[in-house]
Amino acid sequence: MMQQLAPKADAAHEIPVLRLSDVTKTFPGVRALSGVSLELYPGQVTALIGENGAGKSTIVKVLTGIYRADEGRIEVDGTPVHFATADDATAAGITAIHQETVLFDELSVAENIFIGHAPRGRFGLIDKGAMNRRAAEILDRIDANLDPTTPLKDLGIANKHLVAIARALSVDARVVVMDEPTAALSQKEIEELYDLVDRLKAEGRAILFISHKFDEIFRIADRYAVFRDGEHVGAGLMADVTEGDLVQLMVGRAVDQIFPDRDHQAGDEVLRITGFAHPTEFDGIDLSLRAGEILGFYGLVGAGRSELMQAIFGITRPSAGTLTIDGETRTIRSPADAIANGIVYVPEDRGQQGAILGLPIFQNVTLPSLGQTSRSGFLKLAREFDLARGYTERLDLRAAALDQDVGNLSGGNQQKVVIAKWLATKPKVIILDEPTKGIDIGSKAAVHAFMAELAAEGLAVIMVSSEIPEILGMSDRVVVMREGLIAAELAGEDLTPETLVRHAAGIGEAP
Amino acid sequence: MSDMTPSGASIPDTTRNIPDRLQSPALKAFKSWETLLLAVAIAIFITNSFLSPYFLNAWNLSDATFNFTEKAMIAFAMALLIIAGEIDLSVASIIALASTAMGYALQFDVGTWGLVVIGLATGLACGAFNGLLVTGLGLPSIVVTIGTMSLFRGISYIVLGDQGFRGYPSDFSFFGQGYVYWVISFEFVLFAGLALVYYVLLHRTNFGRAVYAIGNNPTGALFSGIKVARVKFILFLLTGLMAGVAAVCLTSRLGSTRPTIALGWELEVVTMVVLGGVNILGGSGSIPGVVIAAFVMGLVTFGLGLLNVPGIVMSIFIGCLLIGVIALPRLWAMWRP
């Protein structure tokens, strides 16, 4: 199975097995990749580094044939190729192990490994014996102690990863893409994964390793490539760089978005949280928020920021801790309780949690405020329209009419409806979770301007964001979370892109 | 990022006036499902009056309303439940249990109003049981109510065996057999009154808005501060109560209770709701639609009955009507360029 691979890794070092050049990919309103290049070498691990939204996922999808690039070339062994479908990429020997592995719970380990290309016997039926035998061989090769006939649902997350890797090997992949493979693994499982990566390297496979964790990048990568805002900003050998260099490359840009000027006037404390804990998501959270303040929450995906915010909003119950509003201790059991206490939450998942896409704009806006517009319990449409118009026009909503379904609006305008909905409840604290994720630049600026306006009016704002420019441009103070704990609280001169990334990724101080 | 889409970054500072509505409510109503269904109802009415000389008789038409009034009462509550994304398939069994409870209470001489209270209370209790299982334990309502469908009627069978309860007091017969004025029956008045109550509840109250919100997106509704579990529980209670009301009317009309009472009604009720334009997946639908659907089903059953068409053919016809009326708008949209 390995005969066509490079016999000796050293000799092949200078010839990339896969080369992407000048690749551009545009989505409506967003240029996800602009003229990027990427080279992968046999027997080497290339780490792909970048902030959220830098274009990492897009390039993975381009090179596995899920997206088609608008412009640019893909070459395998120096020969230009064209991936029309994911099958074409698989046929060229490129396979990906995704962050959330795409596997089938009800099928066996062997069936998962060979799905789509199972060995056939007579009459074209699947030859189960051969399939299980070959699956056992592959599992053996990666030292995975798994029975090929076990149903996948009986396996833990780490073993599922092994199955995904075995699946990659079953098609004799020459390029293996690993998208944050250690995100859900324990330390011991991570070590086992490193061993496996070393073995794949020894077999001469080229590996693209996507990770936010600097310690593991330095542990296993030979080369790096850094993306920023859809552009390729640097590549080279790991031996030539330090953590500091990489952080600089990742974030070191002129802040090219224009953020509103703010004259920060913090008032009295509105919200105080002491000792908030959750069995799995976060622990020991203390924070205090003043009127007129914008508190940024930065961290990697999975750091527990959204989970904390949802506990404050009453979606989940914290296992310990107290919450006070204006100095009074309150127990929040449901979103209805939170809203009654003046806390509102603009969720990250706009389509599922934020807006009700099948209902008209005005009904979305007035949904939590119906008690105000129609105190008797009977609807007062005229008052609903007035309330909805007041807030949506303030947010410069672009819509044909207020009875238009929210599902027909663009992402940015949907977000404006969600924000309008919460402002109509006249809250004291507004929590915005990735408020500008996936919305166009114009709406982004409108949301930023509006946040500043709200703070100036004395609202206390919590903004969860993974975008460093947004965190820096908007926040008065920033809490950095890592693995469910508060890693740092930064303000003033301490608040730089470097400190944010260091605390979020758990890197020590620069020498 | 300004180098990417320069045109998108500028925001005009003129505030635009967004109109309330794109088209007038009257025009919207004209283009609605309910209008189409009303046309079908009128067509069936006209066809019937040509096919049978007995059709256009006030007493015959009055008798015809009994074909749908009891089912429609349940259908109103069921419509709200289905719009909210749940369903209750145990309604016919609730009728059986409520009727059995009333028959059992006859020996204690509780009086007519005592019987009514027992019938309604049984319905409420069954609804509460369904609601607790669905909202308290988070079980899917289709499974829960298939289970309670067997459970409730099973209790009736245990109590009654192959016997029946008879001997309801004479003034108890008013609910199913009484007339308020001339040909206008008590049941029809109750049907009309409940239609109005449910119309107001669904289309004119905050509660009704919550029902639509939950049916469209239960997560989004929860995140908007709606007490989703409480609203759903109330809907199960209402559906149980309506089954109790139907049990009182039906038992009064038949004058007896057997364990097979109202057998298979749950499907006719759901058919009525879906024919009325309620999305079986939740999120949309209206009470006027259900009212018209009730008339359509009643007229069809009555018309075919006058023509001496056997019952099995009637159910085939109702089935075809359901599929036809639902497929029609799709076909219309495909055929139009």
Q: Calculate how close chain A gets to B185, using CA atoms only, in Å.
A: 31
Q: A-chain residues within 8 Å CB-CB of B3?
A: 256
Q: B-chain residues within 8 Å CB-CB of A334?
A: 225, 227
A401 touches chain B (CB under 8 A): yes
pLDDT tens-digit readout, B281-297:
899 999 999 999 999 98
**Confidence at A8, pLDDT banded by 50, 70, 90:** very low
Question: Is B205–A338 a contact, with Cβ atoms under 8 angstroms apart?
Answer: no
Of B17, B20, B216, the CB nearest to A359: B216
| Complex ipTM value | 0.84
Residue A222's CB is within 10 A of a number of other CB atoms, namely 17
Dihedral angle of Cα A302, A308, A309, A315, to the nearest 10 degrees: 110
Interior/surface letters B48-84, b for 16+ CB within 10 angstroms, e for the rest: beeebeebeeeeebeebbbbbbbbbbbbbbbbbbbbb
Are B148 and B93 spatial neighbours (Cβ–Cβ below 8 Å)?
A: yes
Contacts within 8 Å (CB) and 24+ apart, A505-509: A505/A212, A505/A213, A505/A214, A505/A300, A506/A213, A506/A215, A506/A482, A507/A214, A507/A215, A507/A243, A507/A247
pLDDT at B6: 35
Question: Is B284–A358 a contact, with Cβ atoms under 8 angstroms apart?
Answer: yes
Q: A-chain residues within 8 Å CB-CB of B216?
A: 356-359
Of A313, A336, A357, the CB nearest to B227: A336
Q: A-chain residues within 8 Å CB-CB of B205?
A: 377-379
Determine the average pLDDT of the residues in B122-143.
Answer: 96
Determine the average pLDDT of the residues in A397-419.
Answer: 85
CATH 3.40.50.300 domain range(s) in chain A: 1-93+173-253, 254-342+428-503
**Confidence at A99, pLDDT banded by 50, 70, 90:** low
Residue A271's CB is within 10 A of a number of other CB atoms, namely 25
Distance, first Cα to last Cα, chain B: 42
Which of A313, A350, A359, A375 best probes binding to B when mutated, by most B CB atoms within 10 angstroms?
A359
pLDDT tens-digit readout, A18-27:
999 999 988 7
User: What is the third-level CATH fold of B57-335?
Assistant: ABC transporter involved in vitamin B12 uptake, BtuC (1.10.3470)
Which of B223, B228, B231 best probes binding to A when mutated, by most A CB atoms within 10 angstroms?
B223
Interface of A with B in 75-114 (CB under 8 A): none
Question: Is B225–A368 a contact, with Cβ atoms under 8 angstroms apart?
Answer: yes
- Sorted by sequence, the CB contacts under 8 Å of residue A29 that are 6+ apart come out as A440, A441, B5, B8
Closest C-alpha to A133, from A121, A143, A119:
A119
Determine the average pLDDT of the residues in B100-112.
Answer: 93
Determine the average pLDDT of the residues in A374-394.
Answer: 88
pLDDT tens-digit readout, B221-238:
999 999 999 999 999 999
> Would you kindly state where each structural domain of chain B is located, as residue ranges?
57-335
**Percent of the residues in chain A that have a pLDDT greater than 70, as a whole number:** 91
- Residue B15, pLDDT > 70, answer no
pLDDT at A52: 65
Determine the average pLDDT of the residues in A264-276.
Answer: 88
**Confidence at A50, pLDDT banded by 50, 70, 90:** confident
pLDDT at A101: 59
pLDDT at B12: 41
A1 touches chain B (CB under 8 A): no
Dihedral angle of Cα B209, B212, B216, B219, to the nearest 10 degrees: 50
CATH class of residue range A1-93+173-253: alpha beta
**Percent of the residues in chain B that have a pLDDT greater than 70, as a whole number:** 93
pLDDT tens-digit readout, B302-334:
888 888 888 788 778 878 877 877 777 677 767
Question: Is B212–A359 a contact, with Cβ atoms under 8 angstroms apart?
Answer: yes
pLDDT tens-digit readout, A359-371:
999 999 999 998 8
Q: Calculate how close chain A gets to B16, using CA atoms only, in Å.
A: 7
B207 touches chain A (CB under 8 A): yes
pLDDT at B260: 92
| Overall pTM > 0.95 | no
pLDDT at B136: 93
User: What is the spatial distance between Cα B219 and Cα A491, in angstroms, rounded to a whole number?
Assistant: 36
Q: Which residue has the higher pLDDT, A253 or B163?
A: B163
Q: Calculate how close chain A gets to B123, using CA atoms only, in Å.
A: 26
Q: Which two tokens stand for residue B28?
A: 């919207």
B84 touches chain A (CB under 8 A): no
Determine the average pLDDT of the residues in A24-53.
Answer: 83
User: What's the number of CA atoms in the CB half-sphere (13 Å) around residue B222?
Assistant: 16
Determine the average pLDDT of the residues in A398-414.
Answer: 84
Question: Is B8–A440 a contact, with Cβ atoms under 8 angstroms apart?
Answer: yes
- Residue A212, pLDDT > 70, answer yes
Helices (H), A64-127: 86-91, 109-113
CATH superfamily, with its number, for domain A254-342+428-503 = P-loop containing nucleotide triphosphate hydrolases (3.40.50.300)
Widest CA span in chain A: 81
B8 touches chain A (CB under 8 A): yes
**Confidence at A100, pLDDT banded by 50, 70, 90:** low
pLDDT at A509: 57
Question: Is B206–A385 a contact, with Cβ atoms under 8 angstroms apart?
Answer: no
**Confidence at B2, pLDDT banded by 50, 70, 90:** very low
Q: Calculate how close chain B gets to A4, using CA atoms only, in Å.
A: 43
Q: A-chain residues within 8 Å CB-CB of B204?
A: 378-379
Residue A459 — φ and ψ, nearest 5°? Answer: -80, 145
For chain A, the average pLDDT equals: 84
- Residue B13, pLDDT > 50, answer no
Of B18, B210, B222, the CB nearest to A335: B222
* DSSP-assigned states of every residue in A347-391: -S-IIIII--TTSBHHHHHHGGGHHHHTTTSB--HHHHHHHHHHH
Question: Is A354–B204 a contact, with Cβ atoms under 8 angstroms apart?
Answer: no
B2 touches chain A (CB under 8 A): yes
